[in-house]
Amino acid sequence: MRRLGALLLTGLLAGCSVGGTSDGPRTVVLVTHDSFGVDPAALEKFKADTGITVDVRKSGDAGALTNQLVLTKSAPIGDVAFGVDNTYASRALDQGVFLPYKSPEADKGPQRYGIDSNNLLTAVDVGDVCVNVDPTPLAAREQTPPATFEDLADPRYKDMLVVEDPSTSSPGLAFMLATIAHYGQQGWVGYWQRLKSNGVKVVSGWEEAYSQEFSGSSGKGPRPLVVSYASSPSAEIGTDGKARTSALLDTCFRQVEYAGVLSGAKNPEDAKKVLDWLLSEPFQKQVPTTMYVYPAREGVALPAEWQQAAPQPPSPASLPAKDIQANRERWIEQWRAAVRG
């Protein structure tokens, strides 16, 4: 994921060998995506409390991470994985990538987003992918902002929308799925053809779309509409304390990110402790500020600016994970023919 303002933890945390025992250094290899963020002080506190060093290894976006976990399942590249989301989870579940484990923290909110009956994956965070709008250039043209999928295809908003390619971007895939959920099998391809005719721009990933093409970001790009997250406006608070951008809550698709202990892990017992920590209140409290997503745990207070600028969508679109797994590649090919062809 490709999230605004994430504190990226680079490099490996030094000092311990993988698979250490209680008599020596204890290390858990946490495999995750490039947008994983955590306060280094939190990792140090976890080490002080448990004696476990967390060795963070990043493996591209959610799709690349899932593919790598499947390809290496017979010789896993870590002990625990975080970042497989609901658009890719079925593939990992079908391939036996994870061990069953129900964390004692799982019943404190993550159970709302359960995706399998064997406790192979546990929800850690929720990120709703939505179109974001910068109203300032629209106001200069005396135009009201769009609000719906249909508005995005209206000629009034020609050449204003930038989206990510669903074959290379997790939010791009989520937005494509949102259009499928909204228009159904018979209508979604035609909708994308209308977006193409209306001048939609497609780029490879979120960073380019948001930071370079979107007028509401620091990049001050040319387009006032972008596929991003419902939480993104919380990073665009002006000096007056008000959000400069907003999310179109009728265009959202719910992304849930999961963690699980890897089958064949060298250190499964300590891996379970790391998973518990990902669900714990201290870690969940920092999820909004380090990864700009919503915590899965119930009762975790959001930052004050989120309450004003980043409300969660009341009814985001969703599709069953099994349907996504069965049709994802075919849908991407249909999208490619409609938009790139």
List the domain boundaries for the chain.
Answer: 26-126+255-309, 128-253+312-339
Whether the pLDDT of residue 263 is over 90: the answer is: yes
Confidence of residue 213 (pLDDT cuts 50, 70, 90): very high
Q: Which of 199, 200, 204 is nearest to 167 (CA)?
A: 204
Is pLDDT of 19 > 60? no
* Strands 201-203, 161-164: pairing kind: parallel
pLDDT, tens digit, 9 for 90 and up, residues 279-317: 999 999 999 989 989 999 999 998 888 888 988 899 999
Structure tokens at 220: 């001050």
Name the 3-class secondary structure at 181. Answer: helix
* pLDDT at residue number 284: 97
CATH fold of 128-253+312-339, please?
D-Maltodextrin-Binding Protein; domain 2 (3.40.190)
Q: Which has the closest alpha carbon to 260: 70, 112, 108?
A: 70
Q: Residue 239 above 50 pLDDT?
A: yes
**Total-model pTM:** 0.82
**Residue 15 binned pLDDT confidence (cut-offs 50, 70, 90):** very low
Q: Do 32 and 9 touch, CB atoms closer than 8 A? A: no
Question: Minimal CA–CA distance to 101: which of 243, 217, 231, 269?
Answer: 269
Residues 15 and 239: their CA atoms lie apart, in Å, by: 43
pLDDT of 144-202, one tens digit each? 999 999 999 999 999 999 999 998 888 899 999 999 999 999 999 999 999 999 999 99
Q: Which pair of tokens denotes residue 209?
A: 């779309």
pLDDT at 14 over 60: no
pLDDT in tens, 52-94: 999 999 987 888 899 899 999 999 999 999 999 998 898 899 9
Same fold for the pair 26-126+255-309 and 128-253+312-339: yes
The confidence score (pLDDT) of residue 3 equals 46
Reading the block at residue 302, the tokens are 């959001």
Q: Is the pLDDT of residue 16 over 80?
A: no
Q: What is the mean pLDDT of the chain?
A: 90
Question: Given this model, what pLDDT does residue 22 score?
Answer: 47
Report the pLDDT value the prediction gives residue 129, as an integer from 0 to 100.
96
Contacts of 288 (CB under 8 A, 6+ apart): 231, 234, 294, 295, 302, 303, 306
**What confidence tier does 254 reach under pLDDT thresholds 50, 70, 90?**
very high
Residue 146 CA to residue 158 CA, distance in Å, equals 12
Residue 25 pLDDT grade (very low, low, confident, very high; cuts 50, 70, 90): confident
Q: How confident is the model at residue 6 (pLDDT cuts 50, 70, 90)?
A: very low
Cα end-to-end distance, the chain, whole Å: 26
Token code pair at residue 144: 């009201």
Q: CATH assignment of 26-126+255-309?
A: 3.40.190.10
Which ranges constitute the DSSP H helices of the chain?
40-50, 62-71, 89-94, 135-140, 149-152, 170-183, 188-197, 206-208, 268-279, 281-291, 304-309, 321-339
Encoded tokens for 280:
């714990």
